[in-house]
Structure 1
Amino acid sequence: MEKSRGMLPRLFFFVSRPVRGTRGPARSTHVGAAGAFMSGGAGKRTAGPGRQGSRSALASVRAGAARVELERDDEMNCETRDSGVVAAGRAMTVLLDPGTGGAEANYPTRPITLVLGAAPGSGADILARALLPDIAAEVGQRLAIDYQPGASGNIGAARVARARPDGHTVLLSTRSASLHKVMYPYMDYDFARDLKPIAMVATMPIVVVMGNHVAANDMLDAMELARFNPGRYVCASVGVGTTNHVLCEILQASAGMRMQHIPYQSSAAALNDVVAGLVDFLFTPLSAALPHIKSRRVCAVAVTSQLRIDEIPDVPTIEEIGFSEAGADDWYALMAPTGTAPRIVARLNRALNAVLANRDVRQRLARLGYMAPG
């Protein structure tokens, strides 16, 4: 898979209320187009019903929305100097101090706990399972997964933020975790203050899948159905405020359509309901949906990456369809509690870099839909 971009796009975030209701046009509640997730010019296309209103809504919310800028610098996996994730409006960069040298002699002294703010079968879980044996061999200790799903990954992130900073409890974070302070103003931890980046692990496009029961041939057909039947169709995501949820909202606002939104705690549960015909559309990390797509249990109608995906080359990008503003990859990064010794961070950084430099590992990740950095 080709590298589609050198850095993460700028992000905008909004807060909206989750929908929990029954399918159908009656009393359908829409998670409104309250804001946008990323900047970028609109694609060249004809304005559809409601498009001018959507633009106005987006413009008004952007004026008051919290803005978070993240930049995935290619140096994130290089050992040059130690740095932390900075707050809104600044770049997220991981640079390690070359003066820190090798790992502390006694680290790790016991198995390492890798916390996931997601359920089994999620994009983070699939990535972790693909890499854990190689990382364990590199550091000389077993790694155990601790699932902490819920609150769009906030529960898992808080668990690591409060952990002892000795390198034995780390987090596989996703893009949405960087927005938790905006989503949850009363959190007892701060992502930028309490978590320290170790390395970028991989990026992953979001795929839009459609149930085989939907009477549409492609994404544009599906959008026309949703536009002229407001509130009838159900669109699911893996949690409120996640990357996939926000991209779903951007697409609805840009296309002038309105669907019911139902958040799930896991991609596996959401995919099962798409297959069963209970959910019409789902925005989800590609890795979770890939087996269902290849077996034709669901239909992939778009990917949010800049380039098409080698594993599903016939599926167009959202930009090709004409909605570039809804295009963004998700990312996965390894994080440790703030206060973790620089030498421990450097040790984990080198171990992960060594694993990701292996050609077989990179090919394995590509087959699952991930793109390793570098």
Structure 2
Amino acid sequence: MDNAILKRLREWFKKNAAELPWRLADLDAPRDAYAVWISETMLQQTQVSTVRDYFVRWMKRFPDIKALAAATEEEVFKYWQGLGYYSRARNILKTAKIICQTEMYGSRRQRLQDDLVARMPQTRKELEALPGIGAYTAGAILSLAYHQREAILDGNLVRIFSRLYALDFLPTDKIKRDGKSASEIYWNYAREIADSPKAYMHNEALMELGRTVCKIKNPDCEKCPLQGACKAFAEKCTANFPPAKKHIQKDWHGTVLVIESADHKILAVHGGQKFFKNQFTLPHFESPRHATAGLPAQAEAYIDADLVTSVQHVGNFKHNITVHKMDCDVLHICLKTKAPQHSAPELRWVKRSEASDFFANSFCLKSLALL
């Protein structure tokens, strides 16, 4: 891409950059690496409009890596609740602990008012070695925070490159063109954009362009600063690029158990579940539709059937997790005894009044809302 087009891209961005809580007013100023890491991780699979409030709330509670590293997984999940893909939150916490504890980052700590401030690594190799930080996030941190000539490649850039160069394949496709893989071709275009002292601005401008102008549907080509270089626009076929991604959707029907003790505590389980295996959740299992009569055998893994006073089907809800399109029945199971004072480590009894704060995913909250 020639310098004249890149200049138009920069000028467009300076006029049209949206005000975002993770974006500085001075677009040329280096950004905080921690803020870049958190915002870009939140933005994976999630719209900007949704992430805004989550980011502000997160940064108030965890203003730096050290504050985050000191948190529990349960608290981190609470502040992530509603963003989905909870492995992202778990990896964020793991990485914060590694940065604060591992000796390899000790040289990057600076003493400030008798305290230690943990710093993000400044090389791609070190960043990509951390949990949850892949090629895109590493590039964003190095580019936006440290102003290095590092490339990024997210869904917005994939769409723009596909239209600019009329690429009828996606980076994930198993194809070869001129001896290069699909991924290599896209990343080479990204590196070309980043081979500039203004790489940070080119990268962020393209993300903004993809979000607001070069959209998936109905792109506003007349406002695009790259219009003159776009092959898809010249051939009047932007709707054909990028090619549609094949989604494999899996229908899943299940039953969710809300087991409540006589002293109004809800049973939470950790592990052994189809979804949310590594966090506390309500017991759930795959089941035929409308198979809700009586106490299901799966409930007896957690409670004694002789202690049950009632089993009520309280409703049904729909939910999506990755490729799973879910249809869930909810059973409210009441016990005649109080919650035990001591339970196995994988079980926890939570006060019903505190359950909405305890369960850190909308799957559980939809179930509880039916009570």
- The TM-score, its normalising length taken from structure 2, stands at 0.25
| Higher relative contact order (Cα pairs below 8 Å, separated by 6+ residues) | 1
1 or 2, which has the higher helix percentage?
A: 2
Larger Rg: 2
Q: State the TM-score, normalized to the length of structure 1.
A: 0.25
